[in-house]
Chain A
């Protein structure tokens, strides 16, 4: 279950569910007067938080992640928490796009390993045995 918390001007938190709808009563904190700065040190509050992470499929790394107010000044964090699957896909897409575009635009030539791969791939070689320091008979590719 994915949850995100919006931090208002006061210490009250509003829990926003990204997963299935659940009765709002379930999310009533045992003690709404726990100061925000105190963190999840109160055992009762910890247990309250625990109900959201009890599923072995979706545990939560950080206790602070749940108690931490997601500030309106950090919308990216709120988005990450609310839509982790999209964030994961975006990360993969961005990574692949950037590291495909950069060498395409900036490298004047293909790296040596790629030139080697093109040569031996085109020849259908199964293994390359050429070597400057090897005996002359080894300078051939095994097909």
Chain B
């Protein structure tokens, strides 16, 4: 997908700035979905604060300049998160449909979508509140929409013996022994923690200096189900019950 979009930008504008603008369109679309998600939960000012915190991640600013599969997937992931929450809380078919479309398009953006789709599916199966949605047509509509959108690429993958996966496997640095199996994940985890420092600094005034203990940070507008969904989307798993 990013190659097609870059080619469209090349044919229509043809200037270097067009590619950087294309990346920013993806980022801004992702921000819009985050804002729409956060607004009913934490209010409009809280949603703006959330955007500022998210913008502290380098993926949304200087790394986004190199428009690639990682950048183009940002709006679809954000849209999927927004639609997932709305679908579970509101039960409207249109939100399930948007969820399916977002997940389907995420596959066209990057195969990493499995990391998003699998936890969502498991959450719907195992969460006590989300499971109720299985009695409605919504989840099946989302699944159908996702498969329809994915279908052309899935057919191509099968016809080509899943070549991109073989390519990725051959390109990846081979892990030698136990040290590498521990060292590489540790290296990745430490780098990600380092990249979290700017957003944490932006969020710091929310928590420090600490105000009086009897002043809750958030209103009671957000219930446990909301918290579980948000935690799932942020960390890939819901909090322990």
Taking CB atoms, residues of chain A closer than 8 Å to B21 are 96, 100
Task: Give the secondary structure class of B's interface.
Answer: helix
Taking CB atoms, residues of chain B closer than 8 Å to A40 are 215
Taking CB atoms, residues of chain A closer than 8 Å to B62 are 99, 102-103
Cα A133 to Cα B215 in complex, Å, equals 59
A48 to chain B, nearest CB (A): 14
Find out whether the CB atom of B7 lies under 8 angstroms from the CB atom of A103. Answer: no
Taking CB atoms, residues of chain B closer than 8 Å to A111 are 65-66
A87 to chain B, nearest CB (A): 6
B81 to chain A, nearest CB (A): 18
* Contact of B119 with A by CB under 8 A: no
Query: Which of A7-15, A25-33, A58-66 is near enough to bind chain B?
Result: A58-66
Contact partner of A58 among B5, B28, B43, B160, CB < 8 A?
B43
Chain A 12-48 interface mask (CB, 8 Å, partner B; 1/0): 0000000000000000000000000001110000000
Task: Give the secondary structure class of A's interface.
Answer: helix
Find out whether the CB atom of B45 lies under 8 angstroms from the CB atom of A56. Answer: no
Find out whether the CB atom of A104 lies under 8 angstroms from the CB atom of B167. Answer: no
- Contact (A60, B171) CB under 8 Å given A117-B2, A121-B4: no
CB-contacts of A49-70 with B (<8 A): 53, 56-65
Chain B 123-142 interface mask (CB, 8 Å, partner A; 1/0): 00000000000000000000
**17 additional contacts, CB 8 Å, given A53-B43, A117-B67?**
A41-B214, A56-B40, A59-B221, A60-B45, A60-B46, A61-B49, A62-B218, A65-B45, A88-B44, A91-B31, A99-B65, A103-B20, A117-B19, A117-B68, A121-B10, A128-B164, A138-B170
A contact set with B: CB distance below 8 Å: 2, 39-41, 53, 56-65, 80-81, 84-85, 87-88, 91-92, 95-96, 99-104, 107, 110-114, 116-118, 120-122, 125-129, 131, 133-134, 138, 142
Q: What are 29 A-B residue pairs whose CB atoms fall within 8 Å in the complex? A: A40-B215, A41-B214, A53-B43, A53-B221, A58-B44, A59-B43, A60-B45, A61-B42, A61-B49, A61-B217, A61-B218, A65-B43, A84-B48, A91-B31, A92-B31, A95-B61, A99-B23, A99-B61, A99-B62, A100-B24, A102-B62, A111-B66, A113-B68, A116-B3, A121-B10, A127-B163, A129-B167, A134-B171, A138-B170
